[in-house]
Amino acid sequence: MKPFLRRAKAVLLVAGACASLAGAAYALNVEPALPDPAAEARAQALFHQIRCVVCQGETIADSPAKIAGDMRQDVRSRVQQGQTNKTILAELVARYGDQVLMHPPLKSGTYLLWFGPLLMVMAAGLLAWRYFKTQTTPKPW
């Protein structure tokens, strides 16, 4: 019975090591860079201008989401094809909308993106001011 337990322990140990190595390899998620360093630097700069459509608060450079990886590969292939930054960003905006840009342009469709947080802070301040204005202070006597 003891040799069986030793083998079972060894098999479990090897399986656990393989699983942890596979997890570490998956977590690295290494993407191939462009062979031209200037083109790779241009692609990296574009990554920081594009918002992840899943994470919403991160650029595709920082996001671990699968769609962000796909978007990085798409940008790299477009850079390698020789497309300009303006063309690449315009095609992404056409596909995903203005919210895909980390700094969307100021136009009628993006007023809420630009001024929404300010309006919410102002509304909260107005509500707090009205609340405290209507409060009565207790008389000291």
Q: What is the pLDDT of residues 107-130, one digit of tens each?
A: 887 788 788 999 999 999 999 999
Residues 6+ apart with CB under 8 A from 76: 31, 33, 34, 40, 43
**66: alpha, beta or left? (left if phi > 0; alpha if psi -120 to 50):** alpha
pLDDT at 11: 55
Top pLDDT among 82 and 30 is at: 82
Over residues 78-102, the mean pLDDT reads 93
Over residues 68-91, the mean pLDDT reads 94
pLDDT range class, residue 7, cuts 50, 70, 90: low
pLDDT at 107: 83
At the topology level, CATH places domain 33-101 in: Helicase, Ruva Protein; domain 3 (1.10.8)
